[in-house]
Structure 1
Amino acid sequence: MTPRRFYRIRQILDQRQPDLTVLADGIHKSQNISAILRTCDAVGINELHWIVPPGEKSGIWKRSAGGSARWVKPQRHPDSAIAVAHLQARGMVLYAAHLSPTAVDYREVDYTRPCAVVLGAEKEGVSTAVRAACSAEITIPMYGMVESFNVSVAAALILAEVRQQRERAGLYDTGSRLPKDLYERTLFEWCHPKMARFCRERNLDYPPMDADGDIAEPSAWYAQVRAERLEEKT
């Protein structure tokens, strides 16, 4: 871990927007969800919420994601009711990107409040059940024969507007807005992904880091872990 990389990681974490997310509703193509994940990282979104019914095969296409799955956590939900309840419990309003007679220009809603942008599959759009929970339906004006952009392109356009509104409101300049425990856990996982996986697999607390982002006294930490394990066996 170089000081330059540690500074960069902390800088990115300080700009994460814990009250902003995307909810993917019925998006099955790995290329699309992966491209959306990449855009989420670019605008400072920490989690992408994804409705994936049990038994449905959906994954991240690494080529499109560009490694963003390491920086943005995909949170899967088995159905729309659970996903919506989870976001509303966090105080978020939902904006559905959906073409309808009541839809407003995507630039006319307030993205500086805690919110989730809901994106649906290109043919069906956002499901009726999810739309019923949304505060507004938004649309991107079109000037050609096609009715809509590809969903990943639409996500990029909408999230670019989200970022501009939040930049004007100073929400990227306030220092870390993540809860302290989440910040520290994420910082360690980003700095030391292999060690983090080692700890999770063995149900161990993460070791402390020093001011430069390195693991503080790793030999002493390993010795303590071994001693605790031996004590458990006796």
Structure 2
Amino acid sequence: MDAYHKKPGIKKSSLIIGRQPIIEAIQSGRPIDKILFQQSVSGDSIGTIRQLARENNIPIQQVPAEKLHALSKSNHQGCIAIAGLIQYLELQQVIDHVVGAGETPLFVILDGVTDVRNIGAIARTAVCCGAQAIIIPDKGVGALNEDAIKASAGALEKIQVCRVNSLMKAVDTLHLNGIKVFASEMKAEKKVYELTYTEPCCIIMGSEDKGVFSGLLKICDEVFNIPMAGEFESLNVSVATGIILYEAMKQRL
């Protein structure tokens, strides 16, 4: 079976087929998860789509023609977009909104978290603990599809989601706005409860196998670990996020 047909997030109803429909969808503000381009596709309208994708942080993926044919028998003109279920927001826009509402920012960055069930569970916990936003990269993270929304019990539709083309730049933006960035790291000396979460802050959570990217660790304000009674490799990332965010909520209460 074709790999694209195996993905539960790609359904016929979520496809935007053809060049002009894709341009119009982006310009109208419709959420787009990614755009699939046939390899070596060209033309003025393709250049327009690429430009719009860059401006809106929409990932582009080059695929063989067979992939597009498998998704649609229609004349796709070398490109198909996959519509999203989540409206992505600009990070600065979210910061301004949260601060303008008189709230203290509490954000979560997901670095390399690919399991949509974990992403959904993290979103659910984030909403319950008072976090206002989740920040994800445009590549290397699980799709925020129907499965993720279901796992979040609808929380992904309640929390603000920012999609950025660089987590490093996102941290720079947070710092410029006076928001400290903390990262969970198994080998860190500080404990999760030794940090101050009452100030504006953002928590970076990495994948269970690779952890947080080393470049991000270097520019964080603090790194910390979650102490455990027994010897075990690590906690599930959604469980670990819940522990951290509960500590933040406890301090803020």
TM-score of the superposed pair, with normalisation by structure 2: 0.56
Is the contact made by 1:21 and 1:49 (CA closer than 8 Å) also made in structure 2? yes
Matching residue of 1:28: 114
Q: Distance in 2 between matches of 1:84 and 1:114?
A: 13
Classify 1:29/1:57 alpha carbon distance in 2 versus 1 (closer, same or farther; 3 Å).
closer
TM-score of the superposed pair, with normalisation by structure 1: 0.60
Task: Tell me if 1:118 matches 2:226.
Answer: no
Match of 2:152 among 58, 65, 75: 65
Q: How much identity, in percent, do the aligned residues show?
A: 29
Listed one character per residue, the Cα deviations across residues 93-121 of structure 1 (whole Å, up to 9, x for unaligned) are: 11100112x43110000001111011000
Greater C-alpha radius of gyration? 1
Mapping of residues 212-227 of structure 1, within 5 Å: none
Classify 1:87/1:53 alpha carbon distance in 2 versus 1 (closer, same or farther; 3 Å).
same
Partner AA of 1:86 in structure 2: T
Partner AA of 1:88 in structure 2: H
Higher relative contact order (CA closer than 8 Å, sequence separation 6+): 1
Instruction: Tell me how far 1:26 sits from its aligned partner.
Output: 1.2
Instruction: Tell me how far 1:138 sits from its aligned partner.
Output: 0.9
SS in structure 2 of the partner of residue 132 of structure 1: helix
Instruction: Tell me how far 1:81 sits from its aligned partner.
Output: 1.8
Instruction: Tell me how far 1:73 sits from its aligned partner.
Output: 1.4
SS in structure 1 of the partner of residue 119 of structure 2: helix
Mapping of residues 90-101 of structure 1, within 5 Å: 90-100=177-187
Give unmatched runs, 5+ long, in structure 1.
1-14, 168-234
Instruction: Tell me how far 1:46 sits from its aligned partner.
Output: 1.7
Matching residue of 1:134: 220
Structure in which a larger fraction of residues adopt strand? 2
Aligned alpha-carbon RMSD (Å): 2.1
SS in structure 2 of the partner of residue 148 of structure 1: coil
Matching residue of 1:75: 162
Instruction: Tell me how far 1:53 sits from its aligned partner.
Output: 2.2
Q: Distance in 1 between matches of 2:168 and 2:190?
A: 24
